């Protein structure tokens, strides 16, 4: 069944973030190498980005490589980097044709030189696109990001540019990698794991979580549509009472 027609386009989440999980297990279940799962996962990336843009979602963040993923066997890390370079080379034209801007969050300088350079090129080429931001979380972890923000703020306090009393939630947000990006309203994790895994810990304070058993390489447009329909059926109270929501608009 095509679920797209059931989506209320007036109530779309502005920012959807996805923890793409299950590539390795998906491949092993088929007797294939884990890297085959990542390769198939690229098809899901394409489908999901296309579906999000078609709907009018403004920000789509994909958790593609975590700080902890550096601890995987070297061959898998290298294969992922290679896949990333290939995908960027293949898809940059599609991003341009579809008016999509590519951004990254994370410690991307740790990526290998070629990967970093290709990414910077794609980011520059798509910089003026306005339809949707596709944000790749690469070499990203939330604790890394929060630690970096704390270092920057502490340095400003030391020079006197900032007083401790000036530190607010908004100011902390503005020092995170996501400074110019609104908090995600919907976070999807595939593969039946119920964890946040060091992803957008600060930003997901009021995010709706959607967990699906679907492995990332099987994730298709209809799966994104199902997650958005589920999101639209929830009541988002932001700490208020149900009665307060009915009487005053947030
Ligand atoms: C999680 O599956 C997936 C990853 C660590 C990598 C995701 C990367 C891609 C889909 C390809 C490249 C991405 C882009 C944006 C071009 P897992 O390996 O943790 O699976 P497992 O939990 O079954 O082991």
The continuous run of DSSP H or E covering 133 comes out as strand 132-140
pLDDT at residue 204 in the model: 98
| Active-site residue flag, 69 | yes
Give ligand 1 pocket residues (Cβ under 6 A). Answer: 20-25, 38, 41-42, 45, 62, 64, 69, 80, 83-84, 87, 136, 191
Q: Is 123 a residue whose pLDDT tops 50?
A: yes
| Active-site residue flag, 129 | no
pTM: 0.94
Among 21, 133, 183, 223, the active-site one is 21
With the most atoms of ligand 1 within 8 angstroms of its CB, the residue from 18, 23, 60 to mutate is 23
User: Which residue's CA is the nearest one to ligand 1's atom 13?
Assistant: 64
pLDDT at residue 130 in the model: 98
**Side-chain-side CA neighbours of residue 19 (13 Å):** 27
Q: What is the mean pLDDT of residues 10-18?
A: 98
How many Å lie between the centroid of ligand 1 and the Cα of residue 37? 8
Which is the CATH superfamily of the domain at 11-141+182-249?
Answer: Decaprenyl diphosphate synthase-like (3.40.1180.10)
Q: Are 184 and 17 in contact (CB under 8 A)?
A: yes
pLDDT at residue 87 in the model: 96
Among 69, 98, 112, 198, the active-site one is 69
| Cα–Cα distance measured from residue 44 to residue 241, given in angstroms and rounded to the nearest whole number | 38
pLDDT at residue 239 in the model: 82
* Nearest atom (ligand 1) to Cα of 91: 16
- Helices (H), ranges, the chain: 23-29, 34-55, 74-97, 113-125, 142-159, 169-174, 221-232, 242-247
How many Å lie between the centroid of ligand 1 and the Cα of residue 140? 13
Other Cβ atoms less than 10 A from the Cβ of 167: the count is 16
Task: Please state the domain extents for the chain.
Answer: 11-141+182-249
84-113 pLDDT, tens per residue?
Answer: 999 999 999 999 999 999 999 999 999 999
**What does pLDDT average to over the chain?**
95
Q: What is the mean pLDDT of residues 43-64?
A: 98
Q: What is the mean pLDDT of residues 63-91?
A: 95
Q: What is the mean pLDDT of residues 105-125?
A: 95
What tokens does 73 get?
């066997």
pLDDT at residue 62 in the model: 98
How many Å lie between the centroid of ligand 1 and the Cα of residue 43? 12
156-211 pLDDT, tens per residue?
Answer: 999 999 999 999 999 999 999 999 999 999 999 999 999 999 999 999 999 999 99
- Helices (H), ranges, 189-232: 221-232
Q: Is 1 a residue whose pLDDT tops 90?
A: no
Find the Cα–Cα–Cα–Cα dihedral 186, 191, 6, 63, rounded to 10°: 40
């Amino acid at each position: 069944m095509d679920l797209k027609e059931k989506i209320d386009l007036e109530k779309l989440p502005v920012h959807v973030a996805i923890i793409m999980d299950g590539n390795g297990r998906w491949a092993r279940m088929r007797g294939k190498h884990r890297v085959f799962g990542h390769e198939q996962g690229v098809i899901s990336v394409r489908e999901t980005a296309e579906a999000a843009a078609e709907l009018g979602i403004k920000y789509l963040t994909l958790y593609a490589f975590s700080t902890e993923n550096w601890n995987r066997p070297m061959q898998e890390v290298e294969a992922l980097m290679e896949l990333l370079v290939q995908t960027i080379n293949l898809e940059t034209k599609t991003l341009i044709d579809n008016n999509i801007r590519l951004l990254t969050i994370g410690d991307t300088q740790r990526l290998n030189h070629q990967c970093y350079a290709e990414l910077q090129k794609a980011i520059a080429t798509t910089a003026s696109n306005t339809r949707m931001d596709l944000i790749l979380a690469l070499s990203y972890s939330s604790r890394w990001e929060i630690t970096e923000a704390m270092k920057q703020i502490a340095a400003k306090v030391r020079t006197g540019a900032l007083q401790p009393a000036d530190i607010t939630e908004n100011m902390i947000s503005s020092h995170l990698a996501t400074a110019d990006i609104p908090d995600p309203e919907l976070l999807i994790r595939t593969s039946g794991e119920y964890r946040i895994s060091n992803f957008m810990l600060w930003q997901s304070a009021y995010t709706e979580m959607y967990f699906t058993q679907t492995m990332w390489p099987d994730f298709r447009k209809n799966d994104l549509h199902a997650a958005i329909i589920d999101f639209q059926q929830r009541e988002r109270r932001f700490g208020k009472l149900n009665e307060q929501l009915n009487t005053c608009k947030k």
